[in-house]
Structure 1
Amino acid sequence: MNLPHSKSRYLLLFTLAFMLLGSMCLAQNRNERDRERINTLLSNAKTSLNRSNLSTSLNQAQAALDLAEKNEDVQKSWEAKNLIGEVYLTQNDFQKAIHIFLEMSMQAEKVNNYSVSANGYLSLANIYSHMGAFTKANETYAIAYDQFNKIDYELGMIEVKAAASLNHLTANNLKNALASYKTLLALAEKDNLAYFKLIAHDGLLEVYQKTKDNRKGIATGKAYLSLIETEGGSEQMAANAHNRMAALYLNTGENDKAIESLQQAESIGQTGQAGNKILAHTYELFSKAYDALGNKAESNRYRNQFNSLDRRLPAEASYHTDDLEEAETLARELEKTSRAIITEEQLAKEADEKNKREEILKDEIARLKSLEHEALVGNRELGHTALEAEYIHQDLMVAQHEFESTERQAEILRYKESLVRHQLELKVAEEEKLILQQQAEISEKRQQIYLIIGGAFLLIAIILGVEYVRIRKLNKLLKSQQDTIHQRNVELEISNSTIMEKNAKLHKAHEELKRTQANLIQAEKMSALGMLTAGIAHEVNNPISFVSNGLQILDENISETFDTLSTFEQIIQLNDIDEIKSNYNIHKSENQSVSVLKKDTADLLEDVKFGATRITEIVDGLRIFSRKDEKKFKKAQLSDIIESALLISKSKYKGRVQIIKEYGNNIPSIDCYPGQLNQIFINLIGNASDAIEGEGWIKIMLQNIDNKYVRAIVQDSGSGMTEDVKKKIFEPLYTTKESGKGTGLGLSITTDIIKTHRGHIDVRSKVGVGTAFILTLQVDLMKGKNQESDS
């Protein structure tokens, strides 16, 4: 055994293996570069097509196709052909467009690649529908559907159903369109495909509009708009849906609702998201709606806008033939022509390949005969080798006969491999002839081969043994893991039961918390009512004092007046003039004349009137505070509500806190529950008063914001709040007041009331400076809230 020779062979094997690995890596890198180049070309071609640069797009797509076919990349080849077909379709070159998709479909179908063939037939059907050959398009859609069905590709079948539905709708075959869109919607909802659900709703809405099935159309439109909002439909979809809803409302005579829908469509259209075509349709429907309402001025205004916009619209291209029969005939003739050309090209290609195979066979037969001749002219007979050569010759003849009878590419490749194998066998025969001359070397090589084979068998046995042991260990580990998983499942079931029990307890605790919260809110209301009662008692006491004191003095004055009159009456009866003057002077000195007495009496009456007025104001404030809110909003002035709150809270700030009022101009009335807003301002004024130690001021401002909102600001000169306190003040039960002076529910209730009014509350505060609460309330909520209450 020659060890150096053996080492050189091993080194040669390692070198060959390294070279093979290197060549594989280079081939892989080359394929990756080619794939990146194909993607770049396709991307550039799409960009050029969008920019209407059709010639550049066609050249780039063709270059991508050539490179993809060179690398045998079926997917990229299909993408490139599809893009080339789009360019031809944009150029109205229907013959070339049909040819490329038909060729792609026929070739893919021949090798049972139904994914590519189905997509090709789908593109073909779209071309026929674009031409106006709707019947031919339906036939082709059916073929594409069957192709996708063969590979059970459900998404492809749904895409075909969507295209076929649009074809029925474009052909104005409304009955088939309705059935097809309903089927599409069922398939899309089954697999929760949002895009196709939107397509189905859009198609159904258009069908119902054309058939004037108004009620179903309105219901479908509402569902469509809701789906657009939840699933992220386009602005164009939303504007188009609003326009169709408006047309349906016009059919039912609901002109106000039609105008509401059109306002939504106009709002979208003016942002530039929906396109001029949809905006022009909106203006046209506006004109019709105002015509129905008898508002000629608005109708003419929108008609002028429609005419002005319509003149700026680009001319809409149409590829449909006016005569549908002519379109059907044209489509079928174009397909027939393309099919004949493709068949002829395939036959020519197969004939060319057959000729090439025959030439190869002839060359190989000639070579075999030459080898056989060389073997026979030698000094020694080849014996078994010559017999093998004869067998090879016979095999080649049989192969030639089989090559002539077959027409499939796969069989051709197998026979080519057979030829290569026979060539190798002839080379082996030549090597055997040389080996006969070097018997000793052959014997040594045989021994090396036996050793290598034995070593290989031994190595294989070791590998199999190691794998067997590893697999047994893996099986044991897998069984252990399965047991662990089973145990985890049992523990998980127990845990789920525990969680369910805890959830039940939490639910019960939540109900208890809700009841407790309701009780706390009621307690806050009772506390507020107690404060209110104390304030009223304090405020009513003063005017009652006025009335009581005034009445007492008034009673005395009236008594004196009557006494004087009695005296005068007695004197008059006695006709004693001097005595009358004397008594008059006496009474004048005591009462400072009747005129003074009259003035005092008038002043007392004014005090009584003032006290009565104050009592009326306090009662009005109490009425506003204690009034039960109705189910509907009412228009009310915030200034009136604030004045009522100030009157009720007067006992908290009177004599030490200055009230500054800055009510802006043109403050509109707002939709609200006056009693609830009154409670908010009582809470805010009370908190502001409590925050001021000693003397200070509270400023109340009202601002009009675009006649859409009213902003109320309650600012004080109190101690202010830290950031930590400011974060917690709206939490239920949180209070900075001493025990017994506050429940911590006032601002929490205020927040709930603001949410009920769909408003916003904000707080700004600085320690040592003061605090400001900012309330922003909407002006017009009457309509939306009443509708909610009615529902």
Structure 2
Amino acid sequence: MFWGSVCLAQGIDDREKERIGALLANAKKNLNKKRLVVSLNQAESALNLAKNIADAQKTWEAKNLIGEIYLTQNEFQKAIHLFLEMSMQAEKVNNYSVSANGYLSLANIYSHMGAFNKAAETYEIAYDQFNQIDYELGMIEVKSAASLNYLISNQSEKALASFQKLLELAIRDSLAYFKLIAHDGLLEVHQKAGNYEEGIEVGEAYIALIETEGGSDQMAANAHNQMAALYLTAGENEKALTSLKSSETIGTRNPTGNKILSNTYRLLSKTHLALGSQKEADQYDSKFKTLKSRLPSQAKYHPDDLEEAEIVARDLERISRAIVIEKDLSRQAEEKTKRNEILSNEIARLKFLEHEALVGNRDLGHSALEAEYIHQDLMVAQHQFESTERQAEILRYKASLVRRQLELKIAQEEKLILTQEAEINAKRQQIYLIAGGAIILIAIILGVEYVRVRNLNKLLKKQQATIHQRNVELEISNATIMEKNAKLHKAHDELKRTQANLIQAEKMSALGMLTAGIAHEVNNPISFVSNGLQILEENISEAFDNLSTFEQVLQLDDIDEIKSNYNIHKAENASVSMLKKDTADLLEDVKFGATRITEIVDGLRIFSRKDEKKFKKAHLHEIIDSALLISKSKYKGRVQIIKEYGVDIPAIDCFPGQLNQIFINLIGNAADAIEGEGWIKVMLQNVSGKYVRAIVQDSGSGMTEDVKKKIFEPLYTTKESGKGTGLGLSITTDIIKTHRGHIEVRSKVGVGTAFILTLHVDLMKGKEEAENA
């Protein structure tokens, strides 16, 4: 009879399991079809049936499916509450298999929300719990999910380390599926990081593993696509095309991999475009667009702010944890009430049996044995009750501890408020006392002052006469001060004139030092012009003589004489050709000399002209070329001039004459610093379109730190007496300040020196904006 009942119960359970399995299968189908309400109802029905027959596996499957539905609906609070409650309840009974799976699902939810750091923390909890029960497959599943979490959160280094650890675990336990997952993840990490060589090596191993371990066609096609992307990055377009052709072959025979095939078409279009095959690129682009339009759209949760996602995830877990604890406390209270009722009923029953034994005088063997069993059950119940009481007491203690902490904090705040109020009252009393004392003191002072004022009034009349006399003297002093101010203004104007004269004197000093060289430069082209004109005059005179002879020949009557003279003329005609050639050469020399004189005069004109009152646009390279021309005598024949004028150098607002003087000083100093042969490099750079940087660098002897500190001081010079005034760099600094620019010097003994000037492009615009502001 008992065995029949067991068989009947077993049969009912099997039918219920089949029904639960059918409900879960239908729920998954409806989930794939996005019929979420129907799917949720079926999964909840399956969960209730699984609880009724106490089937832990089916209960877990139903809860997992419900959590997936919640996740699809973005109902994160419900999903988190579901798995957190399951994990916490399992932890209480040390069922770490269930709790670890619950934490794994929780971590997947956090990763889906974009709370990647919270997900990583929860994966660690799940990993530790699987480790406690030494469940290696569970640990590998957690490591796989955690690696994907690092990958989608773009934490490349952590993803690489995690996938490598996953590969080690999978190889150790000979788990082919996770080997494939690890290779796929490593290949994607290397592709994102642009690690060409490592990515290709992993990809080749991945494809070989798919062939030997039985990986899917989708895995192979995806691997070929990722390797093709690496080849494209490295510029190896032919290898990329070969990989993509393999992927296309796999994709066309596997209709379920349309998403991967669409990616293959996209990469093929890009590859053919890189190879210059526009027609094939267009064909594959058309295939890609057609296939993409047929693919179902997949809604995915994209958090806008990752920090906010972290905060939301932690808040949702905190809320769910509080709800679970509150429900657990309520359940424990109900169980305690029920146990008390059962205990009371059992105690009443024992008392009844004892009473029957005393008054009934019957065989109590069976009743005594039953009472003993009941007593043992009561002891077990009492022990469970006490254990539950202790747990409830611990929870109540924790809750009371939190309340006590809050009460203590409130008490401290109240104490602080009372202390502050006491301090305020004490200060108020002090203020009252001080105010009363001050009033009394003021009254005494006023009385004393009244007497003193009466005495002072008598002295006031005497002092008024003195003040009047002082006022007269003050007016005289003011007149004297005004006169001194006028003299100071006059002295200031004189100082300005002196400064201008110093600048002009420095110009004249530099011009005087360069006069000999310029005279030599001008003398050469003048010699060209003078000598050429003298020879040209002789050639023209000779030409006129030949023309006169030819006219005389034409006037002769005798034909024989004409022929004879014609032969003479023919011989002279050759000399006329030579004369023309010589004349042309002389004219070229004269033109060269005149052009050379014009260049030198233009350079002198830029250097020696007076400073304008307003800035004007000028090109720095023209100013520098003029300075190089004027300074040519200092470096000609021994110093190589290197010009590096950058492209798109704009004209700047400046006083061209003053800047010309700066570059004459810098080029002259550079030439003097070079003993024997060397080089001077002049560079121009465009800085963001707002500034122009000019650099004058030489290969001279360089300067010590002490010299660098003093070179901009007036009258300081390192040159011999009579060769330098010591004003050049001082005036250069003043001119740079006038242009609101910046000058910097860099030098090293035995290497050379570089002066770096930075000047505004639109100085007038900046000045007008500053004045308007």
Shorter-chain TM-score bucket reads: 0.3 to 0.5
The TM-score with structure 2 as length reference comes to 0.47
The two structures have a TM-score, normalised by structure 1, of: 0.46
